[in-house]
Chains A and B, each alone.
Chain A
């Protein structure tokens, strides 16, 4: 029997004995493919207020893509050439739209109490993503390598020094801020946003507060149905 054949004949054990098996079982229970990639959404999702979360994700995609171009070409390119100035502006304005959409998304979720229905972790990861994004924006402003970045850095350092953070985070240190901006904070944001989106898939999109009166009750699981009989 070849290795290839054996791989095709593999069948997962009914009762996993390893942590990988337990993880697979957990994912199969909490996040089946129907939840991970749903084709339909509840009727209340057909509202403009539900658009701003995915608009924020779209803006984040443009930020990452334009930032990657800026990182490859460098400031000697994006401060001088027309194409570089275009990508520099694209990066800047996608950040503006990112925060614009994220704040409206936050308004909507706050006023519909989006932490209802066991969605506290979804709310917390969203808030953490917002806070870390503010740090990414600040470090982005101070690594522009122009007079604007110098002004912002020397205004920000007074505030940070007043809190004591200045002892280990120095906004006038270009190297430190550049690495934090292009690697550390994007990595944290990527993990937080991925977790946030997966939690939305696990728990579903939060309904409006008055939707509970009109939405159908959840379909009972197989054990619940069998328990009734």
Chain B
């Protein structure tokens, strides 16, 4: 009887079919949607205004001289000044950082995700501390680098010191992102591989890692993007503000773009402030290039080999 909903039983009258067409305004829905769009707008507008501002401010200096000329020490030649030494310094440091932190970080992530027994307290302890490490201010890494790598290891204020410290700084980011990527690989793929008689290493190497390539590449680029923009730890590590030569090797003195930009902005001369804006654009271009590399890797990984 409860099933019978006829008019006589319940007194309920179903609305007419025409009611389906009545225009309704659902306030909650609309407001929520607007709020979401507003948040997106804030983030995007800020980025866009930043980019537009530096483009306008640095427009006069955005030509090849930016990368072919060295910084000039003479105030009278400020408009001839370029950022070549900072650009080469940044490329040296970031390449070495990538060479050191990516293999280490990916290997550590493979261990934690595929080999470590997560029911053991020491592995959970490790995991927690890697996450803590990701939140340590970069200046602290600079102090550590100064005390241990530059002084105790005697590597001095060189490119290799900077690269080691930046590697340590972004290592947690690489590890965390790679672990996420590995965790996203369905367990059924691993089981399928084991069931064919593959060893653990074969399974990781030939099934899990290829399937995680895209996430790993994203994490790697995020990490390197952070490293390339760091100035704080390098101030302590002898990235000198005024360098008129390109690095010749890993034990060379150096400067990097963020430090050079910081130095130029402090300068009273309008020409040098313009140069700072042009330097920011240069840094953004490098970041964009790095991101496009990640996109290429992702697209190639998405295709079936």
Verify that A and B bind, or say they do not.
no
